[in-house]
Structure 1
């Protein structure tokens, strides 16, 4: 970054928040650079496709890459390890780093699995909520006997 760019950034910040930085405004319309559709809208087909992508691509890829990393790290740990009673400190550090990384991969696989299950259960949860609300409103309705 050139010195002039840095000075311009500092001047912009000192001038106050710009319109693009304000939080109390709507997202611009589609013609003004926005996406033109709500962020949270989704369909059962989109949820099913997302769950399928997790099942077919993400989980197998993470598991496969995790196995490959484990094999290569184990080889490096052995290469740096003690052969004649003295080894490199790198061997122990790699082993500890790899143990932490394996825990993170396991947590990621668990998170992917729970997200996949949540995607499948969302439609059922929404339907159950609607039925529950309808039942409660029907109990409270004074017009029910008519």
Structure 2
């Protein structure tokens, strides 16, 4: 590659790069791209929303586990029947049923992770609130001590 060609490619790359959005900093002057909605944008989530997500993940975990097992058992019975009759399709269906188990377990693990993470986060925030409240009340006790010394 010739030096001129290399310089041209670098220049083109720089032009393309300047057109991309950068997400690693806040826009100066309090902007955030929120179209006048403030630096923090308009994304909000309530405890009710999080509870609904956790509940849905828990229900999917319970119900999908049950129903997917019915599908797996039916598929394995059909695979066994096809194999006993000499159909090669039986082995293929058995193979699919085995992989189905892995996929179901992956989905169930993800649902459990979502539900558990939301529960953990809620408990952790409650613990953080308690810690902060304790720290702030300790500061007020210290302030009283300083006020008391001023009075002497």
TM-score after normalising by structure 1: 0.60
Alignment of 1:70-85 (within 5 A): 70-81=69-80, 82-84=83-85
- Structure 2 CA distance for aligned equivalents of residues 22 and 123 of structure 1: 31
Q: For the residues of structure 1 that align with 2:97 and 2:104, how far apart are their CA atoms?
A: 10
Q: Find the counterpart in structure 2 of residue 30 from structure 1.
A: 34
Output the CA distance in 2 between the equivalents of 1:66 and 1:37. 43
> CA separation in 2, counterparts of 1:72 and 1:14?
54
How does 1:37-116 map onto structure 2 within 5 Å? 38=40, 46-55=46-55, 57-81=56-80, 82-84=83-85, 88-116=90-118
Matched, 1:143 2:128: no
Unaligned 5+ residue runs, structure 1? 1-11
Task: Report how far residue 135 of structure 1 moved.
Answer: 6.0
What displacement does 1:130 show? 0.5
Q: 1:83-128, CA deviations, whole angstroms, 9 ceiling, x for partnerless residues?
A: 2477533133223212212322331232133133134324412212
Q: Is the 8 A contact 2:54 2:118 kept in 1?
A: yes
The unaligned stretches of length 5 or more in structure 2 are: 1-11
What residue is the counterpart of 2:3 in the other structure? none
Q: CA separation in 1, counterparts of 2:94 and 2:121?
A: 41
